[in-house]
Structure 1
Amino acid sequence: MLKRTFLKIGAALAVTASLATGAAAAELNGPVNYIIPFGPGGESDISARFQQPFFKDKFGQDMVISYQPGGGGAVGWATLNGLTGDGQTIMGVNLPHIIIKPAQKDVGFTTEDLNVFHMFHFTPDAIIVRADSPYQTLEDLVEDAKANPAQVTMSGSGKATANHLAHIKFDKMADIQTTYVPFKGTGAAVTALLGNQVKAEWGYSTVAATQGEEVRMLAVAMEERHPLFPDVPTFKELGYDMVGGAYRGIALPNSASDEVTQMWSDMIAEINNDPEFRQQMLDNGFAMLDVEADGMDDFMAARSEEYLSDAREAGLIE
């Protein structure tokens, strides 16, 4: 009896020690390096800047943002798994980028190799026109495109991006042919719209938030209307089953332990559920999303199926 008691005590102590070791492995040890695989000023950078003060306030460590642009994010993502997985370095990730790019060619990483632990927001796709545009509604644009095939020009952020895939999907749904004009980034696409180089833009709700009275948003790709734009209908309201945009999240090197991955998922979830943070994001045109580590596989599988199907149909991948 005494021997069995000591064995039970020993087992309990072993479990306690194991838990303590796991907890210690999942502690931050100084400032965190948050790498944005794009240049400064874009939506990825803006949302990271919004997270910074909340991270410091809640977890007592500085979040230092750095940039590693190149290849539409591919340069950074190709280096991620070569970094130390102790939890002191994280990197922003974007959809559809991390799905489409490795499907097109060898870019130094695969979607499956990225340890994405949280998706925290998306910028919904939207069709945006100048405030003085003759298109007052989405139907106005569709009617013009039907009467004048390929004559309705629409700027967007690059090829095989969320904007480009939205353009392909909508043209098919509406049975129209518009001309997509890719630019290097959202800023350049907006400049083209405001400069009357194109008739409309495949942009995001954040563009409408930033440009204010200079533009008019005809429709937004959300399940429900964006609270910042209560008068703008969703595509679904208008008969087009479109919900999506550019999704943004964060990843760790794939050498990070399960404990470190879960720790980070929990921390970003805590920031994401802070009412002040959520309001700041909504006020700037973002749409909130809460996909944590334990739901990431299902989320990524669904997005991959959708994006790859659209890209194949458009001839963007084989």
Structure 2
Amino acid sequence: MASRRSVCVAGLAGLSGIAGLSLGAGQALAQGTGPAANWPDKPIHFVTPYPPGGLSDQITRFAADRISRSLGKPVIVDNKPGAGALLGTEFAARSAPDGYTFFVAPTATVAISPWLRRVNFTLDDFEPVAKLTSSYGLVTARKDAPFNTFKELVAAAKADPGKYTFATNGVGTIVHLTGVLLHKQAGIQLVHVPYKGSMESMTDLLGGRIDVMYDPVTLPRVKAGELKGLATTNPERNPEVPNVPTLKEQGFDIDARSWFGIFAPRGTPQAIVTRMAAEAQKAMASPGARQQLLISAMYPDYEGPLEFGRRVRADNAFFRDIIQKENIKAD
């Protein structure tokens, strides 16, 4: 089993290989030639390493539905949660590179997890296909919390260190590291309570058993008045909750780097990678896509294989440095 360092170094080296993406391969597919000429001729599977109901599931189903309609073939969502998203990731990495299994994952799964734990995959096992979305991050509190903004949360936490809790969908997820970065910048201490998924943590937030979350999955509940929106993490306010101020407006600023993207098992024909990237781009630009994604505090933010691959490498290094500096360890 590879060490954390060897996993990531190998992955970075492998990702650099996407510079050889073949335009000719894409043309061959479009012209009906080559081994992938008849793709797709059966259902495609989109693997997500998280349980149903959470943000990862929502984004995967959104992309699957739009791409299925465009291709005229079923795109089946396979939820494979467990072990902090490692089970689904390892399943996708071992899948046949035949163009019928793709992996839809957030930043944390491919750019963070390998720095936290030993895994049975490397980034070299995946081919970046397309970045789908970026996130309007959201800081949310239980409805009866004694604070209404992030700035007020900071004041309350400083007055009573260790009293308040924040929930995440696991150690080392983007949600967790957002909290770590914010707490360090604000000089506060909150007790981390990790869950297996976003829906479980939101259930406890709704029930008042947890104080705060940094997960955009809470947006519909904030809009419904069931939870409090304390801040958005983007430079601009989320148009779905225009009364919630940004962190920057409250004197705080972080680089959350939260996205979802599609990956293919390494070895998938480049013609198919090119075609799926084009389908992803169409899905993100399709009518109503932006408005539908805003419901989940996301927005279309497409990048193709080359640009997305560069982003994965950069974010891998960014989070490596945070994890090592803060000495964050997986449970």
TM-score relative to the length of structure 2:
0.83
CA drift at 1:261: 1.0
1:230 aligns with 2:242: yes
Distance (Å, rounded) in 1 between the aligned partners of 2:149 and 2:249? 13
Identity of aligned residues (%): 26
Deviations 1:77-127 (A, max 9, x none): 223243222212212222112222222232111124321211212444322
Count of residues in Structure 1 that have an aligned counterpart in Structure 2: 302
| Structure 1 letter corresponding to 2:128 | V
1:156 aligns with 2:168: yes
Conserved 8 A contact 1:235-1:241 = yes
Q: Secondary structure at the match of 1:38?
A: coil
Distance (Å, rounded) in 2 between the aligned partners of 1:161 and 1:176? 20
Distance (Å, rounded) in 1 between the aligned partners of 2:129 and 2:296? 24
1:205 aligns with 2:216: yes
1:240 aligns with 2:227: no
1:142 aligns with 2:135: no
Q: 1:205 to 1:261 in 2, by over 3 A?
A: same
Conserved 8 A contact 2:67-2:283 = yes
Distance (Å, rounded) in 1 between the aligned partners of 2:258 and 2:28? 43
Q: 1:84 to 1:42 in 2, by over 3 A?
A: same
CA radius of gyration, larger in:
1
Conserved 8 A contact 1:157-1:182 = yes
Distance (Å, rounded) in 2 between the aligned partners of 1:105 and 1:179? 22
Residue 64 of structure 1: aligned partner: 76
Residue 13 of structure 1: aligned partner: none
TM-score relative to the length of structure 1:
0.86
Conserved 8 A contact 2:219-2:296 = no
Q: 1:112 to 1:238 in 2, by over 3 A?
A: farther
Conserved 8 A contact 2:221-2:227 = no
Deviations 1:143-187 (A, max 9, x none): 111222222222222211112111110111112222222222212
Distance (Å, rounded) in 2 between the aligned partners of 1:59 and 1:80? 22
Task: Tell me the C-alpha RMSD between the 2 structures.
Answer: 2.4
1:75 aligns with 2:73: no
Q: Secondary structure at the match of 1:165?
A: helix
CA drift at 1:136: 1.7
User: What pairs with 1:21-60 in structure 2 (closer than 5 Å)?
Assistant: 21-22=33-34, 24-25=36-37, 27-60=39-72
Q: Secondary structure at the match of 1:151?
A: coil
| Structure 2 letter corresponding to 1:207 | T
1:315 aligns with 2:327: yes
Q: 1:197 to 1:245 in 2, by over 3 A?
A: farther
Deviations 1:193-226 (A, max 9, x none): 222223x222323312245211111111113111
- The one of the two structures with greater contact order (alpha-carbon pairs below 8 A, sep at least 6) is 2
| Structure 2 letter corresponding to 1:63 | V
Deviations 1:220-264 (A, max 9, x none): 111311111111122223222224264221111101122211111
Residue 7 of structure 2: aligned partner: none
Conserved 8 A contact 1:269-1:290 = yes
Conserved 8 A contact 1:221-1:245 = no
Conserved 8 A contact 2:179-2:214 = no
Q: 1:125 to 1:112 in 2, by over 3 A?
A: farther
Q: Secondary structure at the match of 1:298?
A: helix
Conserved 8 A contact 1:36-1:69 = yes
Residue 230 of structure 2: aligned partner: 218
| Structure 2 letter corresponding to 1:189 | S
Q: Which runs of 5+ in 1 are unaligned?
A: 1-15
CA drift at 1:271: 0.3
Q: Which runs of 5+ in 2 are unaligned?
A: 1-26
Q: Secondary structure at the match of 1:71?
A: coil
Residue 5 of structure 1: aligned partner: none
Deviations 1:35-61 (A, max 9, x none): 222222222222222234322332211
Distance (Å, rounded) in 2 between the aligned partners of 1:94 and 1:116? 12
| Structure 2 letter corresponding to 1:314 | E
1:104 aligns with 2:116: yes
